[in-house]
A and B are shown apart, each in its own frame.
Chain A
Amino acid sequence: MTILFGVAAGIAFLGAVGVVGARRTLYAALSLIVNMLALAVLFLLLDAQFLAAVQVIVYTGAVMVLFVFIIALLSPGAQERLQPLELRVVVGALAAVLFTVVLVRLTLNGITVTPSGHFHGALGPFAPALVDRHGQVQTLGEQLFTTFLLPFEVASLLLLVAAVGAVHLARSRRAHP
């Protein structure tokens, strides 16, 4: 399991670097797809099977297809090149390393994980074995429609607003002066 984590994490990291460092926009999109697929493997390792499926279907299946479609439509090509030893790239890499260290220190501050694999302190009722017995999608759906009903409805409203807004923005202006 550790080996699988190492491989998936390495691929995800390389994909992330590829998004920022790629010369062509299409290569950046392909790197992001690789990164998201590796992330789906990591979700499987974290016992989130439904989310791994959603990650593949929604992100790599829908969002990235939209990206590739727009790239093919606009065909921006290679206009900008990040030279490896350019000053802003070096400063950016250093800042990224520093930012990572700060984030890890802040996130792990005061957290200890017991040898049995969970935090000290109160644990929630959804132990992975219990969730597996009850059904992962079932548990998630029950939570979505009871405890998190309001965020769920707000998210659906947001989707509607985004669809209407995209249609309005993409409409030809000559048709409606």
Chain B
Amino acid sequence: MSPQLFPGFIGLSAAMFAIGAMGVLLRRNPLVVFMSIELMLNAANLVLVTYGRYTHTMDGQVFAIVVITVAACEVVVGLALITGVFRRGRRLDLDDLSELRQ
């Protein structure tokens, strides 16, 4: 693996994280917001594996596996919440979900 590619991996990961953050802020559809969060988790995974590869450690890959586990849990609970909200006859719009504030 050539060292010139290291900034490329970091740059791609940062771009993916920024795009995911903008998706969370801009979109109102909760499903798309969840997908943007997945995008950010993937970007974090890429940075972890990149640093593990270039420092000759296994920690990056182990952390990436833990992150994948957490992402799977988050998707399961999040999609169950979305289904529950949808079943109560709401539109799928995050701006409508303000009842938790009261």
Chain A residues near B (Cβ < 8 Å): 1-2, 5, 9, 12-13, 16-17, 19-20, 22, 25, 28-29, 32, 35-36, 39, 42-43, 45-48, 50-51, 54-55, 58-59, 62-63, 66-67, 70-71, 73-74, 76, 79-80, 82, 88-89, 92-93, 95-97, 99-100, 103-104, 107-108, 113-119, 123-128, 131, 139-140, 143-144, 147-148, 151-152, 155, 158-159, 161-163, 165-166, 169-170
> In the complex, which residues of chain B have a beta carbon less than 8 angstroms from the beta carbon of A39?
42, 45-46
Type the 1/0 row for B80-94, where 1 means its CB is closer than 8 Å to any CB of A: 111110100001110
> In the complex, which residues of chain B have a beta carbon less than 8 angstroms from the beta carbon of A51?
45, 49, 61, 64-65
B55 contacts A119, CB within 8 Å? yes
B14 contacts A140, CB within 8 Å? no
Interface of B is mostly: helix
Chain B residues near A (Cβ < 8 Å): 1-12, 14-23, 25-29, 31-32, 34-36, 38-39, 42, 45-47, 49-50, 52-59, 61-62, 64-66, 68-77, 79-84, 86, 91-93
A158 contacts B49, CB within 8 Å? no
Q: Which of A108, A118, A124, A144 is close to B10, meaning CB atoms less than 8 Å apart?
A: A108
CA A61 – CA B66 in complex, angstroms? 18
> In the complex, which residues of chain B have a beta carbon less than 8 angstroms from the beta carbon of A165?
76-77, 80
B93 contacts A79, CB within 8 Å? yes
> In the complex, which residues of chain A have a beta carbon less than 8 angstroms from the beta carbon of B69?
155, 158-159
CA A7 – CA B53 in complex, angstroms? 20
Cβ-Cβ contact count across A and B, 8 Å cutoff: 244
